[in-house]
Chains A and B, each alone.
Chain A
Amino acid sequence: MYNETVMEHFTNPRNVGEIPDASGVGEVGNVVCGDILRVYIKVKDGVLDDVKYMTFGCGAAVASGSMMTELAKGKTVEEGLKLSNNDVAKALGGLPAQKKHCSNLAADALHKAIEDWKQKASAAAGRA
């Protein structure tokens, strides 16, 4: 059902956990469909210095979260915004057709985390 790369990421997911003093947090999915993925980012000088995630979801959700953090880490915020769900699936060597839409949301969660960081940053700039 899943290829070796997906199973490897499922078995040893990279960068799981939370970042307590995260610059931004993003969450996608809902409990009705059965997948929730939350992403934490730490931004330093416009670069995604650290990216972590947590998920309640199927094998595809666990693996795509893991792959996303690997792809995003070290990239600029702008590059992070360009990372797509499809890029994540490709890097995993493909996902089963029925999993592509519901369980491949890691890049969306990353984008939300970046938006969250941007809002917080501009609010902080407004206060300064």
Chain B
Amino acid sequence: MRKVYLDHAATTPLHPEVYSLMCRFMKDTFGNPSSIHSFGREARKWVEEARQQVADLIKASPEEIYFTSGGTEADNLAILGTAAARRKKGNHIITSSIEHHAVLDTCKYLEKNGYEVTFLPVDRYGMVDPDDVRKAIRRDTILISIMHANNEIGTIEPIEEISRIAREHEVIFHTDAVQTAGKIPVNVEALGVDLLTLSSHKIYGPKGIGALYKRKGLRLLPVVHGGGQEKKLRSGTENTIGIVGFGKAAEIAARDLEEEHDRTKRLRDRLVRGILEKIPEVRLNGHPEKRLPHNANFSFAYVEGESMLLSLDLKGIAASSGSACSSRALEPSHVLTAIGLPYELIHGSLRMTLGRANDEEDIDYVLEVLPEIVNRLRSFSPLAQKHPVGSAG
């Protein structure tokens, strides 16, 4: 059976070049980068080369890159580290209601511990209004955290405008760029951010490694304490194998960015066009233009997401959904809720995120299989019976 992986926003396979470099490194180099002997120095050399590669991906300096265990830890470090460092200045944080849980739940944790958090709404496309940010700023606001692009619906936020507002008010600005780095150009200077989160496994690198970009001179307190690695900001012996793989993945992502961007966007557009043509009563969630090139997110009326995922999986197609039934917490997607979708359309959502492995044949295969699946599920849906398919727009 044909296998089509359309869940690249969840994770990506290792790039073959990353794999072979990691194998080579792990076979020969085991030293602790903190050791002064030749074994340690050799490992240090590799780590610092990777730091340069990661820095290059976002046009930062290597001294501004701090390796963490992944995007989640980097988000935690950015938010908790800023909150602790700026406690005396104030205790108010601004974020959006569509952030990844790594940001959202860290802010909620702070809320329970004496901080105040404003969760900004978004419009029906999932866009944060910079004016809302401006209005939410208070004298005691210490941090604004708005994601670069949303992981579910792919909407790209107006980061440059928001960072300008943050700077005017001398508020620290963090963005989670886990979904954008390596997919669209990310330049920390152009974006005007103080802190930026990166993850390796979304760009064909290994899991368990990520990084926080921290603008030179910005003060942050550590979350993990110990041996003082990563300039005392993230203790713990470096995940050297992961770091080396992340570095290579970042280098490849930067090298191939334009080509991959255009290629996946073309395929994605073909997918979106095909689905809107072939299946009635479907809507595209997220912004029509300001969205990630590889993201497509639909809601199909009258059908439930998990049933769609199971049916697709039986045909070898991997996708994801914002329906309650397909989430671990059995809660409907907070993102689709925030853009104002009714419950029925949240449960009927389907996200397909493209990547390197996909080609035109994959897309045509989905376009052949998906209409049948939706038709079958609609054929015994009591909701479709109430509003027969084809009767409404």
Contacts and interface: CB of A to CB of B under 8 A. Distances in A.
Interface size bucket, A side? 20 to 34
Interface residues on B, range: 20 to 34
A2 B313 CA distance: 12
Contacts of B30: none
Interface string A14-52: 001110000000010001111111100000000000000
- Interface SS of chain A: helix, strand, loop or mixed? mixed
Contacts of A35: 304, 325
A58 interface: yes
A56 B330 contact: no
B383 interface: yes
Contacts of B342: 31
A64 interface: no
A60 B324 CA distance: 13
A56 B326 contact: no
B120 interface: no
Contacts, number: 75
Interface stretch (B107-115, B286-294, B374-382): B374-382
B365 interface: no
B380 A102 contact: no
Given A56-B302, A57-B325, A36 B385 contact: no
Nearest to B302: A56
B326 A58 contact: yes
Contacts of A55: 380-382
Contacts of A103: 325
Nearest to A60: B325
A117 interface: no
B383 A36 contact: yes
Contact of B304 (A16, A18, A56): A56
Contacts of B344: 31, 56
24 contacts: A2-B310, A10-B307, A10-B310, A17-B380, A18-B385, A31-B343, A32-B343, A34-B304, A34-B324, A35-B304, A54-B381, A55-B382, A56-B302, A56-B304, A57-B307, A57-B325, A58-B306, A58-B307, A58-B310, A59-B306, A59-B310, A62-B380, A102-B325, A103-B325
Closest 4 CB pairs of A and B: A58-B325, A58-B306, A16-B380, A34-B347
